[in-house]
Amino acid sequence: MKSSRLLSILLLLQTRGRMTAAELAAELEVSARTVYRDVESLHAAGVPLYGDAGHSGGYRLLAGYRTRLTGLNAGEAEALFLSGAPGPAAELGLGPALAAAQLKLRAALPQELREQADRMRTRFHLDAPGWYAADAEVPFLPQVADAVWNGRVLDVRYRRWKEPTDVDRRLEPYGLVLKAGRWYAVAGPGPRTYRVDQILELAVTEESFEIPADFDLAEHWRRSQEDFHARLYAGEAEVRLSPRGAARLTGAVAVAFEATAVAEDGGWRRAVLPTESVEQAHAFFLSLGTDVEVLAPPHLRALLATTTRTLSATYTPPPS
């Protein structure tokens, strides 16, 4: 544990430059006192690590000092190769760079770790899109990525779902997110989220921009997903479900079922489930057939009753 933490301190200082004991402690989730002891251990090992006092002080490595990858354990080496996603990297125009980086990393590993990393790469393959999702053409992804790297403003023609469908937008692309096989650009002003495959035309301008200092892409995406799900499931329905019907629930609906379910006779359970809209709920509960009974709201139950009567009339054979 301590050896791993010492290596982490070296890599943090190597990549970020000067850091205070408080910053290192927060990054490593330890106390500042632990950081002080670790720094003393690094000093004793001959690492050229220096500390400066004062308001702008902190720890830093001697200019030009670099640690080697000898501190990697087997799990870390395997994880590094598993994290390399060749498909998304190629879409970003970074396929050759990823291959070169993995080659250099492999060459730097000891023989035993190299064999374990190779085994990991041959045993696992990442395929993010769902089974029934067609691969979307994303012709402007490399240009958007380049604008993200270089802080360039984009003028785009964008297709959205509501009228008017095709609109012109000036985007300051803060970052890219790959979600379920689709690329999304998070861009100012706002920021707002745009599907990259819905960009119809694109021009890279000479205008530059600065990402707000307090913007964190991962945190922004997490909050936006929470907001999306809060808006998505605006209603709820009280239902009874058979064991087979309950087994077909997925995602947030399955979570809500487990949180609210009350056992009834015959293995059935009563629960309150989130719904997007009356239309969506109507279609979903019809798909469960006789494995569900909707108890409330009354208008949804009435709509399902009308539909089942219509289906019954449609499939009832005429009298002979």
Q: Provide the token pair at 152.
A: 């360039």
For 266: left if phi > 0, alpha if psi spans -120 to 50, otherwise beta; the answer is left
pLDDT by residue for the chain (320 residues), tens only, comes to 566 677 778 778 877 778 888 888 888 888 888 888 888 888 877 778 887 776 667 888 887 666 655 555 656 555 555 555 666 766 776 666 666 666 666 666 667 667 776 766 666 666 666 666 666 678 899 899 889 989 999 999 999 988 889 999 999 999 998 887 788 999 998 899 999 999 999 999 999 999 998 999 999 999 988 888 777 788 899 999 999 999 999 888 999 999 999 999 889 999 999 998 899 999 999 999 999 999 999 999 999 999 999 999 999 988 87
pTM: 0.56
Could you check whether the bond before residue 189 is cis, i.e. omega within 30 degrees of 0? Answer: yes
Q: Report the b/e string of 202-214 with b at 16+ CB within 10 A.
A: bebeeeebebeee
Residues sharing a CB contact under 8 Å with residue 300, sequence separation 6 or more, in sequence order: 237, 275, 278, 281, 282, 285, 294
The Cα 207–Cα 44 span in angstroms is: 51
Distance of alpha carbon 216 from its chain centroid, rounded?
Answer: 13
